[in-house]
Amino acid sequence: MHYDAPSAGWQDEGQSGIWKYQELLPPVPLNRRVYLGEGATPLIRSVSLEKRLGLGELYFKYEGSNPTGSYKDRIAAMGISWALAHGRKACIGTTSGNAGAAVAAYAARAGLPYHLFVLEHMAQTKLAQVLVHNAQVRRVAGFGTSPEVGDTVFSRIFEAAGLKDWEVMITAFRYNPYAMEGVKTISFELAEQLQNVPTQVYTAAGGAGLFVGVWKGFEELFRHGLLSAKPHMVAVQSAGCSNLVRAYEAGAEQPAPGASTSQISGLQVPNPPDGKVALSLMKKGDGSSLAVEDEAIWEVQRQLAEEEGIFCEPAGAVSVAGMMKALQGKEGNRSQRVVCVISGAGFKDSARLSAMTADKPVPLLPADGLDI
Amino acid sequence: MHYDAPSAGWQDEGQSGIWKYQELLPPVPLNRRVYLGEGATPLIRSVSLEKRLGLGELYFKYEGSNPTGSYKDRIAAMGISWALAHGRKACIGTTSGNAGAAVAAYAARAGLPYHLFVLEHMAQTKLAQVLVHNAQVRRVAGFGTSPEVGDTVFSRIFEAAGLKDWEVMITAFRYNPYAMEGVKTISFELAEQLQNVPTQVYTAAGGAGLFVGVWKGFEELFRHGLLSAKPHMVAVQSAGCSNLVRAYEAGAEQPAPGASTSQISGLQVPNPPDGKVALSLMKKGDGSSLAVEDEAIWEVQRQLAEEEGIFCEPAGAVSVAGMMKALQGKEGNRSQRVVCVISGAGFKDSARLSAMTADKPVPLLPADGLDI
């Protein structure tokens, strides 16, 4: 592996994407920065929901335009660059889908082998997005159903990574805090795009890394005196996997136990690795948490596609569904400047796309009977 | 329909995306500009092919990060904004896939109904990307196989559009020159990103609108004195549908007739609507054309995913395949600064993704036998 980032012309790759904010990221030499066009995602103002909810301003931070279609590309860009800078010879991890696609793309570009252990019953389409970048994938019997198998997989991964000096690319602050610093760039971009502080930022909370990372970004801007205030952060979960919400409501320090019954990929995390940190920042008043039913999430996914023109994956719509639940019927929304982070693109979940469109009529007409 | 583009904060939506270059686009009032995060796509420098080909500089302009995953979003943003500015009550058109998804998303955001007529045997996944934004889709018996039916559909579309004052959203200069002006923003971004003129720009040529639009962008920059030179433009086709290449080689003014045997969606255009314009600009020395076999295109698609970390649709890889065919084994490549436009994201063609990954081994291991 002899990766050297190419030096470009005006748009130096080492200065674009997440590296626009290099002063606030872990240091990586210019020639080790792996760039695929991550970050600089659009901030899209609502044309429909804002009015319906009577909000002052409502924005969608659309992470689906990242190179592999989700915010995980920011983490992969940071983590793989970091791994290269530290001479790692490979990376290793697990994934439920989006993280794997992101790490596989950046590892391929960097010339690093990617050893990936996945659930026994991983969906074929999620698997394909990893395999296309030539990741070395192995399914593990019982992984995803047996907690003991999960423990075994994690301890084997960390053991092998330690012995071989590989980078552990599991997208949680608990497992790779350096890589996760990439998430902060969402907040940095938001502050620049709005030239202002949002009053509230809603994010999905599966493993809770997105929520913690966006909070951390605003926290750092605030502490450096670059922002005059911080937004209130809201972690939105599926009611079928609401371990943070229940712990938050009970004032607990650890996520509440309980299996996931949610059908939504990315939100099915019974034991969120960054849950404790998320709860601690809620406790000191920086955030809160609420849950919405899978059906409500799917309904909002449909509304976003039909009314706002934004087609996201179901896990990308949960932030918006949570915002609607929190604000509907409330007074005083006019004073609010709300951002919902839409974590990934609609194509990520092709089964859901089929389900959304299967019953829409597409009549077959004869050419001489085109009644327009 | 009472669309008013929302006025945003610092990043005014009416100034972002294609509207960064409003001085060189058809005029549209600020409150009629429909924005979904189109444009501002990454320019990614090669880490693998550049060295292998001995090129001075090789860049990929990755259009897959547009909101619906292809460069057609630039056309849809321009065309739907233009339609709104002119009081149209709906839009109408045909599509083989990507254009439909783009127009459907922007029309949904603008609150404009989209009447769409598609091939009798349109692939279900392409259809779903249109239906999710609630386009009114009708299949037409014999459309795609019978030339007479094609003529009937087009004349009915133009007749209805004229009577009802609807916008015809067919993505070709021949049918909607205003919308197609959006393609020029690819060239404007390239000139800014490189701060220089590419020596050669390779694009796919299906209907030839992408090729003509990118040429037009550079031509305008050159004529306005903003660039000191123009790149040589290369239109790359599938050998299975090489009507431009054959006409170019014969010195003809019209695309050569002949049915398509290409398997690649987006390149199967036996009678390219912008073919005549494309041939005329080749004739005056601004461009040339060549063809590559479908198998070579698929092979390059695989290489881009495995070596560069870029997963594009097959039609997105054709520009790179053409460049490789043109330059391989040649001397003097060191002096060249080459750009290949990658027109769309890999998820656009899910059947191809399955085919690419179906034979990659994914062993199932017992948890106590993880040999890492």
Predicted ipTM of the assembly: 0.96
Burial class of residue A225 (count of CB atoms within 10 Å of its CB; 0-12, 13-18, 19+): exposed
Residue B295, Cβ density class (10 Å: 0-12 exposed, 13-18 middle, ≥19 buried): exposed
Comparing alpha-carbon positions, the chain A residue that sits nearest to B2 is A47
Res B331: pLDDT: 77
**CB contacts < 8 Å between A and B, how many?**
285
Q: What pLDDT sits at residue B126?
A: 87
Q: Is B59 helix (H, G, I), strand (E, B) or coil?
A: strand
The predicted structure's pLDDT at residue B57: 94
Nearest to A357 among B128, B360, B368 (CB): B128
Cβ of A66 and B65 within 8 Å?
yes
Could B44 and A35 be called an inter-chain contact, meaning their C-beta atoms sit closer than 8 Å? yes
- Domain assignments of chain B as residue spans, ordered by start: 30-69+179-357, 72-175
Tell me which residues of chain B have a pLDDT lower than 50.
Answer: none
Sheet of A43-45: strands edge to edge?
Answer: A43-45, A57-62, A337-342, A200-204, A232-238, A287-292
Choose, out of B80, B360, B368, B371, the residue to mutate when testing the contact with A (most A CBs < 10 Å). B360
DSSP output for A268-314: --SS-TTHHHHHHHHHTTSEEEEEE-HHHHHHHHHHIIIII---B-H
pLDDT at B121: 82
Chain A nearest C-alpha distance from B281 (Å): 28
Q: For domain A71-178, which CATH number applies: 1.10.1040.10, 3.40.50.1100, 3.90.79.10, 3.40.190.290?
A: 3.40.50.1100
Strand pairing of A91-94 and B57-62?
A: unpaired
CB contact under 8 A, B105 and A309: yes
For the domain spanning A30-69+180-357, the CATH number is: 3.40.50.1100
For residue A212, give how far its alpha carbon lies from the nearest alpha carbon of chain B (Å): 25
Partners of B92 on chain A (C-beta within 8 Å) are 372
Specify which residues B116 forms β-bridges with: B93, B137
pLDDT at A150: 84
The reply to whether CATH 1.10.150.120 applies to domain B72-175 is: no
Closest CA to B77 of B216, B219, B181: B181
**And the tokens for B330?**
């040649």
CA B284 to chain A, closest CA, distance in angstroms equals 30
Among the partner-chain residues A44, A140, A159, the one whose CB lies closest to the CB of B37 is A44
**A251 to chain B, closest Cα gap in Å:** 36
The CB density around residue B62, as the number of other CB atoms within 10 Å, is: 26
Q: Is A128 within 8 Å of B36 when comparing Cβ atoms?
A: no
Residue B218 is inside which H or E element, if any? helix B209-223
Closest Cα to residue A44, out of B323, B125, B40?
B40
The C-alpha atoms of residue A63 and residue A40 are separated, in whole angstroms, by: 9
Instruction: From first to last of the 372 residues of chain A, give the pLDDT tens digit.
Output: 568 887 655 556 778 899 999 999 999 999 999 999 999 999 999 999 999 999 999 999 999 999 999 999 999 999 999 999 999 999 999 987 899 999 999 999 999 999 999 988 888 888 999 999 999 999 999 887 777 888 899 999 999 999 999 999 999 999 999 999 999 999 999 999 998 899 999 999 999 999 999 999 999 999 999 999 999 999 999 999 999 999 999 999 999 988 889 999 889 888 899 999 999 999 999 999 999 999 999 999 999 999 999 999 999 999 999 999 999 878 777 889 999 999 999 999 888 999 999 999 999 999 888 888
Q: What's the CATH architecture for B30-69+179-357?
A: 3-Layer(aba) Sandwich (3.40)
Please tell me the predicted confidence (pLDDT) of residue A320.
Answer: 98
Contacts of A244 (CB under 8 A, 6+ apart): A205, A208, A235, A237, A255, A256, A272, A275, A278, A279, A289
Residue in A10, A141, A309 closest to B365 by CB: A141
Give residue A239's pLDDT. 96
Return the closest-CA partner of residue A228 out of A218, A214, A238.
Answer: A218
A71-178 and A30-69+180-357 share a CATH fold: yes
| Beta sheet of A114-118, edge-to-edge order | A167-168, A91-94, A114-118, A136-140, B364-365
pLDDT score, position B120: 85
Nearest to B367 among A45, A143, A159 (CB): A143
Q: Do B368 and A160 touch (CB under 8 A)?
A: no
